[in-house]
Chains A and B, each alone.
Chain A
Amino acid sequence: MAEKIYVLIDHGQGEVRNGSLEALAWGQKMAAERGGEVHAVMLSGPDQEAARQVADSAQASSLLWLRHERLADYDPDAYAAALKDLVRADKPGLLLMAHIYQNIDLAPKLAVAVEGCLITDCIGHKRDDGGLVFVRQMFRNKLNADIRPSSGHPCIATLQAGAVSRDELQAGQSPLQERQADLDQVPQRRVSLEKIGAGKGQVDLTKADVIVGVGRGVKKEENLAMVRELAEVLGAEIGASRPVVDNDWMERERQIGSSGQNVSPKLYIALGISGAIQHIVGMKGSNTIVAVNTDPNAPIFNIATYGIVGDLFEIVPALIEKLRAD
């Protein structure tokens, strides 16, 4: 019997999450290699609209639609219980999902509930002598690791944003299979209260052609003056990685990354940014990336177009001078 690969499809406000489509493309690829079949899995309330949308756009052997009023909004207890029943009943060889914040909250709970192996934040997979291994980054993204789950347990894996391109997704239709989830015995413990949007004020980094991004390596708030001067000479906007914003050196609306903005300028200059994956997710769509960092092993150099291993406090003033002189 062909192995079943299940892919969890997340959606919000009637839209399917990009990361889920990447995960589905990953699933299609794995199924093609392994001779298995892919099934999309969606959890939602009774409203059929989102399910229809997925069924009509993604090619899978089926779209398993788990339906229940308590699945209308994310609740870890209800979501884990519905998926636990599904995994126990259908025994998929693999359950794939996007490595998004909701699944970081959900997947480890589900893994324990089904006594499964969970490999988070994968950037791919391959086969070695011992079979299937998942590739992921460790040690602040500086090293790659091939991870092998133990056999005899359900296997869940989450995929890092952008690790598989959505362009690789085979479009098509999936037959819709409705299932009513049984959540009668599942207590409601965690209650969602208000949602707060980070202030989106005057700055719209998503439209900027040139962005100077600044990270932890800038060391002090006073040093931002130099960065502002460079941005001015370049006609650029300034963006920041998380530590800079956490220190209140810059407004949160300038944060780039998974918890901030996704940007795709023609030129991105990363100053003192080591390249935590949460930041890279937000800026790797930039056309040309220049990275300045003192650490030659900083992961930002893995995605940069041009790299300068050096001290930004020397490079930036020299760069300002050069651009002014020309």
Chain B
Amino acid sequence: MKIISCLKEVPARDTRYQVDSGQHWIEEGGLTLEINECDEYALEEALKLQEAHGGEVSILTVGGARSEKSIRKGLAMGAKQAILVEDEERRVNHPYAAAKVMAQALQDEEFDLVLAGTQSDDYSYAQTGVMLAEMLGLPHATIVMEIEAKPDEKKIKALREMESGWFQWVEMPLPAVLTIQAGSSQVRYPSLPNIMKAKRKEIRRIPLDDLGVDLESMPRLEISRLYFEEAEGKAEILEGDTRSVVDLLVEKLRKEARVL
């Protein structure tokens, strides 16, 4: 199977964010970046399919030059090659644009399946994968926990998560787009020999402007202000050393909240 695994990188989980002076984005200086969690699970699913059915996994990323570190990690995990749509100035900054650019980049690619994370840890829109499917004219399924491919029948089965502890199997023809939920399986670590090998794998770079996507006329979303939530309604923070903070908590739970 030929599988495209969409991957983006986001600020690391323990980032202490600072909003930039224009209040439109975060301060990017000194940020540690990592592969978006759901995308890493998507890549893991892609690699499992590659092992089970043969073929090859290609990574697709839209990002700046610094994305190379995450792409190399993905290649070290087992992807065969990568496509990087170069967007150094972060002009692709909402899901419609991301999907359009990715659809355009995939126009001449042959593939059976596209996997993407269900949502990203930075914007958290949970839109790009489905939008990409619609733009490519392909069926899709979201919030997928498990995949059963039937490449001979040109079909794929996916277990979707639903609310309240329910799951549902759906089936659709290939090619298709699936968005993968985090926690669907254990993500592998790249081995040292694979890290070395990954350095020689090809990253095909496409300048954003070469794709000819008109970023202005499409439906756009703009962050008009980014800010920390106002303090109202926030927790009463109990302070002190461990013993006194525990004493205070128990007292409050007994006398104020009356729940003990």
Partner of A308, one of B171, B173, B237: B237
Q: A191-B171, A301-B237 are in contact. Are A112 and B165 (CB under 8 A)?
A: no
Q: Give Cα A234 to B254, complex, Å.
A: 12
B245 and A310 contacting across the interface, CB-CB below 8 Å: yes
Nearest chain B CB to A98 CB, angstrom units: 10
Chain A residues near B143 (CB-CB < 8 A): 101, 104-105
Task: Give bound CA distance, A121 to B19, whole Å.
Answer: 21
In whole angstroms, what is the CA distance A113 to B14 when docked? 37
Residue of B nearest to A321 (CB): B246
CB neighbours (8 Å) of B164 from chain A are: 259-262
Contact of A196 among B166, B183, B243 (CB under 8 A): B166
A147 touches B223 (CB 8 A): yes
Q: Is B224 a contact of A149 with CB atoms below 8 Å? A: no
* Chain A residues whose CB sits within 8 angstroms of the CB of B235 once the complex forms: 289, 291, 301-307
Chain B stretch 209-260: residues in CB contact (< 8 A) with chain A: 218-229, 233-238, 242-243, 245-247, 249-250, 252-253, 257, 259-260
In the bound complex, do residue A128 and residue B167 qualify as a contact, i.e. CB atoms below 8 Å apart? no
A56 at the interface (CB under 8 A from B): no
A147-B124 contact, Cβ under 8 Å, with A109-B133, A196-B167: no
The listed residue (B168, B183, B249) touching A243 by CB distance below 8 A is B183
Q: Identify which of B130, B170, B218, B234 contacts A301 (C-beta below 8 A).
A: B234
A109 to B135, alpha carbons, bound, how many Å?
9
User: Are B250 and A260 in touch, CB under 8 angstroms?
Assistant: no
Q: B13 an interface residue at 8 Å Cβ cutoff?
A: yes
Residues on the B chain within 8 Å of A102, using CB = 162
A305-B246 contact, Cβ under 8 Å, with A145-B226, A153-B219: no
Q: How far is the CA of A191 from the CA of B257 in the complex (A)?
A: 50
Which of B124, B127, B237 sits near A118, CB closer than 8 Å? B127
A144 with B227, Cβ < 8 A, contacts A210-B259, A308-B237, A319-B250 known: yes
Interfacial chain A residues near B171, Cβ < 8 Å: 190-191, 193
Q: Does any Cβ of B come within 8 Å of A67's Cβ?
A: no
B123 touches A138 (CB 8 A): yes
Distance, CA A262 to CA B122, complexed state (A): 26
> Which residues of chain B are within 8 angstroms of A289 by Cβ–Cβ distance?
235
B163 lies within 8 A of A297 (CB): no
B249 with A308: CB separation less than 8 A: yes
Chain B contacts of A323 at CB under 8 A?
Answer: 250
Q: Given A190-B172, A302-B234, A315-B242, does the pair A150, B252 have CB atoms closer than 8 Å?
A: no
Tell me the minimal C-beta distance from A326 to chain B in angstroms.
Answer: 7
A209 CA / B13 CA spacing, docked (Å) = 32
- Does A28 make an interface contact (CB < 8 A)? no
Looking at the assembled complex, report how far the CB atom of A190 sits from the nearest CB atom of chain B, in whole angstroms. 4
Q: A108, B246: Cβ atoms under 8 Å? A: no
The number of residues on chain A lying at the interface, defined by a beta carbon within 8 Å of a beta carbon of chain B, is 93
Contact A143 B127 (CB under 8 A): no
> Chain B contact residues: over half helix, strand or loop, or mixed?
mixed
Complex contact B247–A137 (CB within 8 A): no
* A261 with B26: CB separation less than 8 A: no
Judge whether B190 is part of the interface by a CB distance below 8 angstroms: no
Residues of A within 8 A of B165 (CB): 197-198, 200, 252-253, 255, 259-261
Number of A-B contacts defined by CB within 8 Å: 257
Is A121 touching B124 in the complex (CB atoms < 8 A)?
Answer: yes
Smallest beta-carbon distance B30→chain A, Å:
15
Q: Which residues of B contact A111 (CB under 8 A)?
A: 96, 127, 131, 219
Is B189 part of the contact surface with A, judged by Cβ < 8 Å? Answer: no
- B91-145 contacts to A, CB under 8 A, are 95-96, 99, 118, 121-131, 133-135, 139-143
A227 to B121, CA, bound (A): 28
| Of the residues A138, A144, A190, contact of B170 by C-beta under 8 Å | A190
Q: Give Cα A267 to B11, complex, Å.
A: 33
0 or 1 for each of B147-188: is its CB under 8 Å from A? (1 = yes): 000000000010111111111111111000000001110000
Residues of A close to B222: CB separation below 8 A = 147-150
When the two chains form their complex, are residues B95 and A108 in contact, meaning their CB atoms are under 8 A apart? yes
Contact B142 A198 (CB under 8 A): no
Name which of B14, B162, B245 has the most chain A CB atoms within 10 A of its CB.
B162
Given A147-B222, A195-B162, A198-B166; 7 other pairs, CB 8 A cutoff: A101-B163, A118-B127, A143-B229, A192-B170, A193-B170, A288-B259, A308-B245
Query: Which residues from chain B sit less than 8 Å from chain A, CB to CB?
Result: 11, 13-17, 19, 26, 95-96, 99, 118, 121-131, 133-135, 139-143, 157, 159-173, 182-184, 218-229, 233-238, 242-243, 245-247, 249-250, 252-253, 257, 259-260
A-B CB proximity, top 8 nearest: A246-B183, A198-B165, A307-B235, A108-B130, A304-B235, A193-B169, A112-B134, A189-B139
A-B contact pairs, 7 of them (CB 8 A): A121-B126, A190-B139, A196-B167, A305-B235, A306-B238, A307-B235, A308-B245
By a beta-carbon cutoff of 8 Å, the part of chain A in contact with chain B is: 76-77, 80, 100-102, 104-105, 107-109, 111-113, 115-121, 128, 130, 133, 136-150, 153, 189-198, 200, 210, 234, 242-243, 245-247, 252-253, 255, 258-262, 266-267, 287-291, 295-297, 301-310, 314-315, 318-319, 322-323, 326
